[in-house]
Every structure is written in C-alpha cells, then in structure tokens.
Structure 1
Amino acid sequence: MLNICLRPPSRQLIRTFSSSARKLDHFPNVDQKGFKRALQVKGKIVIADFYADWCGPCKVLGPILEKVTKDGVLTSSSGKPFDLVTVDTDNQGELAMKYGVRALPTVIAFKDGEPVAKFVGAIPESKVTEFLKSV
C-alpha cells in the first residue's frame, strides 16, 4: 500500500538558505596584482606565506597555517579575523624581494596593508597560534 500526502499549495514548505560570511579567504599562489588586492581587504589581518615548492619546511608550515586560520575561530589581538595569502617565491621573486624575504618559509602579517609582524622558518602549530593571536 502506498500512502501519498499532497499538501494544498498554501501549505507548501518553502526552503530558504542563509549563510554567514566566511572568516577566512585563501588567496593561493598570488601574483603582484592579487597580492595588492588581498592587502586592500578591510577589517582583516592578511597572513602572507612566502614559500617554494621545493622547500621541505614550507611543506610542513603551509598546512599548519591553513588549519589554524581556516575555521575562523582564531582572531588577532585586535579581534580581527585572518585571510591567508600564499606567494610562490620562484614565480614572484620581485614580491619576495620587496618584503625582504631572504629565507623560506617567511610569514608576514599585514594590518591595513602594512607589515606588522613576521617569522621565518617552520614552527609548531602552537607557536603559529601564538603568533597569530599576538598580531
């Protein structure tokens, strides 16, 4: 036996969808224009990860940065969320030189388009979290 319940048009269910703004935007492998665009985002701290594909420590640090910034729970000392920008230094040497990148990985935090803090080398997740909270 098959029961089918038909609802009159006035009682139909209407589905609506809502979403909240993501805390994190990830700008992978940006060029100079993309980097400049990412720095213009207001109300967020931009974390720039300067890396190279051949760099072992970069392969360790990259996933850590993505993990701690992705969920949007972690915020800076000013309460601002983060955007993550990755810059391949092999392809964007001028950009790396502009910000004084001399070793990999180098992570620079930007607030209102200006560099405010940085660290060099692969560090554990707990230290990355401390760094992000201090910005």
Structure 2
Amino acid sequence: MSSTTLRSLCRAFVWGSHPVRASKFNMPAFRSAPRRTLVYANADAKTFEQVTTPKDRIAVLVWPMSSTRAYYRESGSGLPFDLVKVDTESEYGLALGQKYQVTALPTVIAFRDGKPIDKFVGALREPDVQAFLEKL
C-alpha cells in the first residue's frame, strides 16, 4: 500500500451517516486549535441537512471525478469545515443540483447556516482552490 493511500485512510471518514475520526496510528494529535475535517461520501438528504444546518463552515463538493477528490480532502485538512460529496447520478443528487443550479461539473458550493455563501464552477488550479478554501 502506498503512503498516499495510507495517509488518505488515516483521515476522517463517514461510515453510513456517522462521521468517524481516524488519525495516524490512532494516537491523539495535540494542536492549539481544534482541527475538523470530516468527509461525507455520497450524502443523502438527511445527511446533507444535518451537516449544512449548524453554524459551521461547510464545503459541498458536487462531481463524479474521483481523481480530484483526494486533492480537496488534502487541501481542506486542518481547516474548520466538512466536505460533503454528492453523487450527481443519484436521484437526490440530481434534485440537489437543480435546487442549487448546478450547471456544470465540478461545482463546489460553500454553506454557512444552511445557506450557500460562495461557489465556483469548473476545474481550478491548486492555488486557486486553496485560496477559495482559505477565504471561507
């Protein structure tokens, strides 16, 4: 197993609708600020509402490209928001795409207090994505 795969396995994941935190070697990490990056894969309506309603910063990722998902997870690591992935081919994903006017993939929408606050459409370069995530 490559070290990149191992690192990605040591991040926070969601099993069903329950987030699970995992760290390297299951040892606690000591930080001055709380670190929270949970990844919700293939979120359904219930999970989407539960995650986007609290007064937190959330980034919603809407696309089917698996190669770019790891980059967003790495870029967002340590930033105070969760990543919600929506399956664009599911019935709920299509309905959510219509609700938030997703016209092209990839689309990234940032939510706060259950409302969209910022969005970009199309593939961006890594520095532009990092700047988008940092300004949230």
Provide the residue aligned with 2:86 in structure 1: 87
- TM value normalised by structure 2: 0.69
Aligned partners of 1:121 and 1:27: how far apart in 2? Answer: 21
SS in 1 for 2:130: helix
Shift of 1:87: 0.5
Pair 1:46 & 2:54 matched = no
The number of residues matched between the two structures is 105
TM-score between the two structures when normalised by the length of structure 1? 0.70
CA RMSD of aligned residues (A): 1.9
The counterpart of 1:66, out of the listed 62, 73, 81, is: 73
Would you say the 8 A contact 2:62–2:85 is kept in 1?
yes
What whole-Å deviation, never above 9, does each CA across 1:17-66 have from its counterpart, x for those lacking one?
86776411111110111111111233x211000012xxxxx334322111
SS at match of 1:23: coil
In the TM superposition, structure 1's runs of 4+ consecutive aligned residues that sit over 3 Å from their partners are 17-22
- Counterpart residue identity of residue 125, structure 2: P
Structure 1: runs of 5 or more not aligned: 1-16, 53-57, 75-80
The percentage of aligned residue pairs carrying the same residue is 38
SS at 1:84's partner residue?
strand
Aligned to 2:121: 120
Give the gaps of 5 or more residues in structure 2. Answer: 1-26
Structure of greater Rg: 1
Higher relative contact order (CA 8 A, sep 6+): 1
Deviations 1:89-132 (A, max 9, x none): 10121011111101001000001111010011121221111001
Is the Cα contact below 8 Å between 2:53 and 2:112 reproduced in 1? no
Match of 2:20 in 1: none
The aligned counterpart of 1:107 is: 108
Distance 1:94 1:86 in 2: 14
